[in-house]
A and B are shown apart, each in its own frame.
Chain A
Amino acid sequence: MKLAKNAKGKAPARLKSKEAKTDVEVRYDLRLYVAGQTPRSLQALTNLNKICEDHLAGKYRLQIIDLLKKPQLAAGDQILAIPTLVRTIPKPARKIIGDLSNTERVLVGLDVRPVQ
């Protein structure tokens, strides 16, 4: 399942497709790998949406990949831990594993300076 998501507005804690907005300048390409709708996955998504909203508004694109449905995609990004957030752009790729509960670490991991 592929979900392109606009960061505007409150993100629902659901893994659901939404129309992607293509007119924004994409500087961050993110993929979140999950395995089914586990509480941890939903938690990660909630946390991620919040972080993106706060710090990357309008500059990112997010794909959510459910490995239960597409297990063959796991090998490409060397996914092992669930959930894993992969930043494919800008290069080099970065991975953040866990439920993304620590905002500071996520931002450091994504190499994003907090907007302040």
Chain B
Amino acid sequence: MNRNLPQTLPKAPTGIHGLDQITMGGLPKGRPTLICGSAGCGKTLLGIEFLVRGALQFNEPGVCISFEESAHDLEMNVASLGFDLQKLQRAKKLVIDHIFIDKSEIAETGEYDLEGLFIRLNAAIDSIKAKRVLLDTPEALFAGLSDAGVLRSELRRLFGWLKNKGVTAIITGERGEGTLTRHGLEEYVSDCVILLDHRVQNDAVTRRLRVLKYRGSTHGTNEYPFLIDEHGISVLPVTSLGLTHGASTERISTGIPDLDEMFGGKGYFRGSSVLVTGSAGTGKSSMGVHFADAACRRGERAILFSFEESPQQVVRNMRSIGMDLNRWVKQGLLHIESARPTAFGLEMHLVRMHHLLEKIKPKVVVIDPISGLLPGGSEHDVHGLVLRIVDFLKHSGATGFFTALNAEDDLQSTALSISSLVDAWILLRNIEVNGERNRLLYVLKSRGMAHSNQIREFLLTSRGVKLRDVYLGPGGVLTGSARVAREAEDVREETRRHQAAKERELAAKGVLEALDAKITGLHAEKLAKETELSNILDTDRAQRGKVLAEREALRKSRGMMNQTAVRRRRP
């Protein structure tokens, strides 16, 4: 222990899911806490759970002084939440005392105090060495006793007395007009005040909890939705988890080889969140099922939350694209959870998810469609819900895959509010040309990885999802039969071109051959001319030799007398 550190406020953990996170460890130990709220918002239950969990988990016995319900009623009421108060009482972990005043049988005359209450409380605390106390709506006394002044001062004395006694106490109070409690108890209990509230929104009740005040401690200040179910109270902190989750560099397959290609050949990051948006019938669910199927193939557990189809329906429908989900369900790898979005409020959905995720611990979670929850709450609420799911999934290292439905002409709006929360966003859209409807897919964003900027055609075949390159025609992208026609056209075009080339080749060859023939002819002609030329020369030479010979003979015959004359004529 470091003596230099200032002493921090000791806290008594409530053991209530989420509440200890918000209060950074629990209620102020040894001090009273006021819990106020309107009728039916869960004050008593919160108090009882505080006592029960204290007795069971922290070995702190508790005393419940109920001013409204009898011990028997209380036992019955909380039995549905799995709390066995009778057993705890037998085990000396809990004492319940019901204090009531029937005004009709009481007359008041002169001065009095509430020492009887103190004595009973003290006796109860001492009998089991209780550390926790619940006073369930002491303000009910105001209805039984007419001297409010005495009551007020006695309650003030009571809270001080509880503090001296060193017990951690919860005092509940009914919400008053303009005040936290009907009779202003908040003036006396000022260490910690928690406000409970329940509102009806779109026919669904949302309970909320807020720590109004916590003297000497930091605490979450927001309104947190909470839920009462068969596990007791669960408070859902939105932001207490923070952005501290790790980031895996491992990549996992999307379940569609062609789509893996678009994500750099490897798929999504493990632990990331993927959003697929698109209008009706674009194949969002099929993509989700592909992803879950890929996880099961790797031997990982996956959960598919379906807000549109029952588990059997999902299995049947996915068989049409060659997916046998039943085998994964049988092997316990795939859990399909179906619920109508309007069946409960958003928080109930979230808590159900939490419970399932904690039980199954899946590696892949598919929520189809997350926009199905929209009718259950406002966009703000859905945003908060998605945020909490994303945070929770990231913390547990699971990869989330959400689908969302858009209107065809408004492709990005619904997703806009949640798109910033996800790491990868794939857009699916329908295009309608030539009397048919075809699907297109493109990757809008993918944080932290290279990804294709190409638009692909998305095909649902009997052997799963396939992606095709699309053709760009003069009128935009070509898909479906237009693409097939274009492909055939391309083949024909190629054949034609090939034939034309062949013809041109032949023609050129013909010309060459003709030229060759011509060259051969000319060669022959040239040879003939050369022969002729040499003949001419030969003849000429022979002729000249003959002439000279004749002249020589003539000169010889004339003798030597005319030698000079002959020499002059010769040149």
Which B411-426 residues sit within 8 Å CB-CB of chain A? none
CB contact under 8 A between A79 and B108, given known A71-B123, A74-B123? no
Q: What mask results when residues 73 to 103 of chain A are scored 1 for a CB within 8 Å of chain B, else 0?
A: 0110011111110000000111111111110
- Cβ of B107 < 8 Å from any Cβ of A? yes
Contact of B111 with A95 in the complex, beta carbons under 8 Å: no
Whole-angstrom distance from the CB of A83 to the nearest CB of chain B?
6
Contact of B119 with A99 in the complex, beta carbons under 8 Å: no
Contact of B106 with A82 in the complex, beta carbons under 8 Å: no
Q: How far is the CA of A82 from the CA of B112 in the complex (A)?
A: 6
Contact of B109 with A68 in the complex, beta carbons under 8 Å: no
With a cutoff of 8 Å between Cβ atoms, the chain B residues found around residue A58 in the complex are: none
- Cβ of B99 < 8 Å from any Cβ of A? yes
Which A43-77 residues sit within 8 Å CB-CB of chain B? 43-44, 47, 67-68, 71-72, 74-75
Which B91-106 residues sit within 8 Å CB-CB of chain A? 97, 99-101, 105-106
Contact of B116 with A96 in the complex, beta carbons under 8 Å: no
- Cβ of A1 < 8 Å from any Cβ of B? no
- Cβ of B110 < 8 Å from any Cβ of A? yes
- Cβ of B205 < 8 Å from any Cβ of A? no
Q: How far is the CA of A68 from the CA of B120 in the complex (A)?
A: 10
Contact of B115 with A98 in the complex, beta carbons under 8 Å: no
Contact of A97 with B108 in the complex, beta carbons under 8 Å: yes
With a cutoff of 8 Å between Cβ atoms, the chain B residues found around residue A33 in the complex are: 116
Contact of B111 with A80 in the complex, beta carbons under 8 Å: no
With a cutoff of 8 Å between Cβ atoms, the chain B residues found around residue A21 in the complex are: none
- Cβ of A108 < 8 Å from any Cβ of B? yes
Contact of A75 with B120 in the complex, beta carbons under 8 Å: yes
Q: A82 is contacted by which of B101, B115, B122, B145 (Cβ under 8 Å)?
A: B115
With a cutoff of 8 Å between Cβ atoms, the chain B residues found around residue A102 in the complex are: 109-110
Q: How far is the CA of A101 from the CA of B241 in the complex (A)?
A: 62
With a cutoff of 8 Å between Cβ atoms, the chain B residues found around residue A84 in the complex are: 112, 116
With a cutoff of 8 Å between Cβ atoms, the chain A residues found around residue B111 in the complex are: 40, 98-99, 101
With a cutoff of 8 Å between Cβ atoms, the chain A residues found around residue B250 in the complex are: none
Contact of A109 with B109 in the complex, beta carbons under 8 Å: yes
Whole-angstrom distance from the CB of A40 to the nearest CB of chain B?
6
With a cutoff of 8 Å between Cβ atoms, the chain B residues found around residue A96 in the complex are: 106-109
Give the size of the chain A interface in residues (CB under 8 angstroms).
34
- Cβ of B73 < 8 Å from any Cβ of A? no
CB contact under 8 A between A106 and B109, given known A71-B122, A74-B120, A80-B141? yes
With a cutoff of 8 Å between Cβ atoms, the chain B residues found around residue A99 in the complex are: 109-112
Q: What mask results when residues 65 to 102 of chain B are scored 1 for a CB within 8 Å of chain A, else 0?
A: 00000000000000000000000000000000101110
With a cutoff of 8 Å between Cβ atoms, the chain B residues found around residue A98 in the complex are: 108-112
Which B182-216 residues sit within 8 Å CB-CB of chain A? none
Contact of B97 with A75 in the complex, beta carbons under 8 Å: yes
Whole-angstrom distance from the CB of B245 to the nearest CB of chain A?
53
Q: How far is the CA of A95 from the CA of B116 in the complex (A)?
A: 14
Q: How far is the CA of A84 from the CA of B145 in the complex (A)?
A: 13
Chain A's closest residue to B97 (CB) is: A75
Contact of B123 with A82 in the complex, beta carbons under 8 Å: no
- Cβ of A105 < 8 Å from any Cβ of B? yes
Q: A72 is contacted by which of B106, B108, B117, B123 (Cβ under 8 Å)?
A: B123
Chain B's closest residue to A108 (CB) is: B107
Whole-angstrom distance from the CB of B112 to the nearest CB of chain A?
4
Whole-angstrom distance from the CB of B143 to the nearest CB of chain A?
13
Whole-angstrom distance from the CB of A51 to the nearest CB of chain B?
10
Q: How far is the CA of A116 from the CA of B97 in the complex (A)?
A: 44
Contact of B109 with A83 in the complex, beta carbons under 8 Å: no
Contact of A71 with B107 in the complex, beta carbons under 8 Å: no
Looking at A79, A80, A98, which has the most chain B CB atoms within 10 Å of its CB? A80
Q: How far is the CA of A69 from the CA of B112 in the complex (A)?
A: 19
- Cβ of A35 < 8 Å from any Cβ of B? yes
CB contact under 8 A between A81 and B109, given known A35-B119, A72-B123, A74-B120? no
Whole-angstrom distance from the CB of B361 to the nearest CB of chain A?
49
Looking at B109, B110, B117, which has the most chain A CB atoms within 10 Å of its CB? B109
With a cutoff of 8 Å between Cβ atoms, the chain B residues found around residue A92 in the complex are: 105
Whole-angstrom distance from the CB of A78 to the nearest CB of chain B?
6
Contact of B110 with A71 in the complex, beta carbons under 8 Å: no
Q: How far is the CA of A40 from the CA of B302 in the complex (A)?
A: 72
CB contact under 8 A between A67 and B110, given known A74-B123, A78-B100, A78-B101? no
Q: How far is the CA of A93 from the CA of B106 in the complex (A)?
A: 9
Q: How far is the CA of A96 from the CA of B109 in the complex (A)?
A: 7
- Cβ of B113 < 8 Å from any Cβ of A? yes
Whole-angstrom distance from the CB of B122 to the nearest CB of chain A?
7
- Cβ of B247 < 8 Å from any Cβ of A? no
CB contact under 8 A between A95 and B109, given known A67-B115, A75-B120, A80-B116? no
With a cutoff of 8 Å between Cβ atoms, the chain A residues found around residue B105 in the complex are: 92-95
Contact of B109 with A74 in the complex, beta carbons under 8 Å: no
Chain A's closest residue to B111 (CB) is: A99
Contact of A100 with B109 in the complex, beta carbons under 8 Å: yes
CB contact under 8 A between A97 and B119, given known A40-B112, A40-B113, A81-B113? no
Contact of A97 with B123 in the complex, beta carbons under 8 Å: no
Whole-angstrom distance from the CB of B110 to the nearest CB of chain A?
4
With a cutoff of 8 Å between Cβ atoms, the chain A residues found around residue B100 in the complex are: 78
Chain B's closest residue to A72 (CB) is: B123
- Cβ of B547 < 8 Å from any Cβ of A? no
Contact of A80 with B114 in the complex, beta carbons under 8 Å: yes
With a cutoff of 8 Å between Cβ atoms, the chain A residues found around residue B123 in the complex are: 71-72, 74
Sample of 6 further A-B pairs with CB below 8 A, known A71-B120, A71-B123, A81-B116: A67-B119, A80-B141, A81-B112, A82-B119, A93-B105, A108-B107
11 interchain pairs, CB-CB under 8 A:
A44-B110, A67-B116, A74-B119, A78-B99, A79-B116, A81-B113, A81-B114, A94-B105, A95-B107, A100-B109, A101-B109
Shortest 4 CB-CB contacts between residues of A and residues of B: A109-B107, A98-B110, A99-B110, A71-B123
